[in-house]
Amino acid sequence: MIAGFLPIWLLTAVGYVTGRTRILGDQGEIVLGRFVFHVAMPAALFATLSTTSLDRFSGWAIVTFGAGTTLTCLLGFAASRWVFGRGLSDQAISGMAAGYVNSANLGIPVALQLLGNTSFIVSVMLFQVLMVTPIVLTIIDGGSRIRDFLLLPARNPIIIACVLGVVASGHVPQQVLAPCRLLGAAAVPTALITLGMSLRGRTPEPGPRSRGELAVAVALKIVVQPCVAFVLGRYAIHLSRTDLLAVVTCSALPTAQNAFIYAREYGLRTELVRNTIVASSVLSMGSLLLTTSLLSTHH
């Protein structure tokens, strides 16, 4: 478990030191963020989707996870709108911060450690990439103007990569996949470095509203999402013990750094997302251990 979390903490710390020492200059965070959003992350998504069978994107387990994630994101969206009075784009990113799990660089090692395999975490990745991400980016990028909404798929590199990956699934030559994988491997560490750099010298938003938003987002991510997944899986859909453990464990993962990259790219309030990622990455280790311990003795 610690081995899975350690790279996140260390790379974020490296980013913080990099920002404090100004090794990359005043524009380093901006440049790295754009590199992740426009180059590395699209390459990683294309390589993943073009080599993953969409047959994984089925079954009652992923339906349960998807329902729990959707409900949690909607709760984060609603709280941002009606409790904290944020605008539409910030509402979308708040919902993402509350329910978008770190399924790649953390989900895989956690799945191997607690579940013994990565079969379900791949389904989680597909759900988030093909369903959650396009909806959130559509609200952020094109929700206010019809023309922008219609042109969104043609100018958003994340959506372009997802569409191309699905269309070309199973038909991409190794000569194309190899450089995409190599480039995509830079997405996660660079995103974490960027996240760490954003922690440098930022003045927190004053007032209790900011602290309240963070508390709500972290509670939704660490407590509500796995609890909703358990209730749905155990009492509504009646999943097997193994599937229930997989669904709840994946639901208890912390917020993914993708949410921060999207917020930074679109000029939204990054403080909430950044702090939710950091706090949930610290607290979720205890949540995961408690969850798996309880579920292991549930039957």
pLDDT in tens, 84-108: 999 999 999 999 999 999 987 678 7
> What is the structure's pLDDT at 49?
83
Local structure of residue 25 (DSSP, 8 states): -
Residue 136 is assigned to a structural domain of this protein = no
> What is the structure's pLDDT at 206?
53
Sign (positive or negative) of CA dihedral 80, 69, 149, 187: positive
The more confident residue out of 108 and 79 is: 79
Residue 227 is assigned to a structural domain of this protein = yes
Residue 166 is assigned to a structural domain of this protein = no
Q: What percent of the chain has pLDDT above 90?
A: 41
Cα–Cα distance, 70 to 266 (Å, whole number): 22
Residue at 158: amino acid letter: I
CB 107 within 8 Å of CB 250: yes
Residues 6 or more apart from 58 whose CB is under 8 A from it?
Answer: 123
Q: Check residue 170 and give left, alpha or beta (phi > 0: left; psi -120 to 50: alpha).
A: left
Q: Supply the range of the domain harboring residue 215.
A: 2-41+59-120+174-195+207-290
CB 163 within 8 Å of CB 192: no
Q: What share of the chain is helix, strand, coil (3-state, %, to 5)?
A: 80, 0, 20
> What is the structure's pLDDT at 298?
53
The string of DSSP codes covering 114-168 is HTSSSHHHHHHHHHIIIIIHHHHHHHHHHSS-HHHHHHHHHH-HHHHHHHHHHHT
> What is the structure's pLDDT at 162?
83
Query: CA separation (Å) from 40 to 106, 146, 170, 211, 296?
Result: 18, 29, 21, 32, 38
Of 228, 220, 243, 224, nearest to 295 by C-alpha is 243
> What is the structure's pLDDT at 179?
95
Residue 47 is assigned to a structural domain of this protein = no
Query: CA separation (Å) from 216 to 89, 91, 193, 280?
Result: 18, 13, 26, 12
CB 278 within 8 Å of CB 97: no
pLDDT in tens, 19-45: 999 899 888 988 999 999 889 988 988
User: Average model confidence (pLDDT) for the chain?
Assistant: 85
Cα–Cα distance, 131 to 136 (Å, whole number): 9
Number of structural domains, the chain? 1
Residue 128 has pLDDT above 70, yes or no: yes
Residue 71 has pLDDT above 70, yes or no: yes
Residue 155 has pLDDT above 70, yes or no: no
Residue 152 is assigned to a structural domain of this protein = no
Least confident span in 103-112, 116-125, 160-169: 103-112
Cα–Cα distance, 52 to 124 (Å, whole number): 12
CB 281 within 8 Å of CB 5: yes
Per-residue pLDDT averaged across 217-229, rounded? Answer: 95
pLDDT in tens, 230-289: 999 999 999 998 899 999 999 999 999 889 989 988 888 889 999 999 999 888 888 888
Residue 240 burial class via C-beta count within 10 angstroms: exposed 0-12, middle 13-18, buried 19 and up: exposed
Residue 224 is assigned to a structural domain of this protein = yes
pLDDT in tens, 170-216: 888 999 999 999 999 998 899 889 988 988 755 555 566 788 999 99
Residue 127 is assigned to a structural domain of this protein = no
> What is the structure's pLDDT at 170?
83
> What is the structure's pLDDT at 58?
67
Confidence band, pLDDT 50/70/90 cuts, at residue 297: low
Residue 256 is assigned to a structural domain of this protein = yes
